Amino acid sequence: MVSLSTSVANPSHRCSYSDDVTDQGELFRIGRKRTRGRSRRTLDETLTAMRALGRVETIDSALIGLARVAADELDDACRDTNESRYTRGVLVARYHAVLSHLLERPDTMSDDIDLDAMFAAVDNNTTT
């Protein structure tokens, strides 16, 4: 039986992300300029509207970044004719989950308070 040490990292397997790999060959050329697809454009429009309503705060940056990545991945999958329908469906579900979390904002106060006040005002103004 062989026992592997879990407390000391093997120095021969260290990974450095600062190594320069500019001379590394490429199997497929990846375009550096990404075009905005339909999902990303509509996400940006939604974010613009949310900002205008004051519903986007600085703390939402990570969630917005995740939503942008999900939208870009979905757009890329929809552009790729060789991508399977299953993969596109999974990406749609993942993007929907992130977008729903951003729109619903379960960690903030509910809009029901404003709706209750509105309904109370309507009830008070009705004549019977």
| pLDDT band, very low/low/confident/very high, at 97 (cuts 50, 70, 90) | very high
Cβ atoms 126, 91 nearer than 8 A: no
Q: Name the residue type at position 45.
A: E
CA-closest candidate to residue 101, choices 67, 54, 61: 67
Predicted pLDDT at 34: 61
- All structural domains of the chain with their residue ranges: 35-106
Q: What is the mean pLDDT of the chain?
A: 77
In whole angstroms, how far apart are CA 54 and each of 47, 97, 110?
10, 22, 14
Q: Does the model's pTM come out above 0.85?
A: no
> For the segment 47-82, what is each residue's pLDDT rounded down to a tens digit?
999 999 888 888 889 999 999 999 999 999 999 989
Q: Residue 73: is it exposed, middle or buried by C-beta count within 10 angstroms (0-12/13-18/19+)?
A: middle
- pLDDT at residue 9 above 90? no
Residues 68 and 59: their CA atoms lie apart, in Å, by: 16
| pLDDT band, very low/low/confident/very high, at 90 (cuts 50, 70, 90) | very high
Predicted pLDDT at 64: 94
Other C-beta atoms lying within 10 Å of the C-beta of residue 72: 18
- Residue with the larger pLDDT of the pair 51 and 32: 51
Residues 37 and 92: their CA atoms lie apart, in Å, by: 14
Residue 51: DSSP 8-state: H
Predicted pLDDT at 119: 77
Other C-beta atoms lying within 10 Å of the C-beta of residue 75: 21
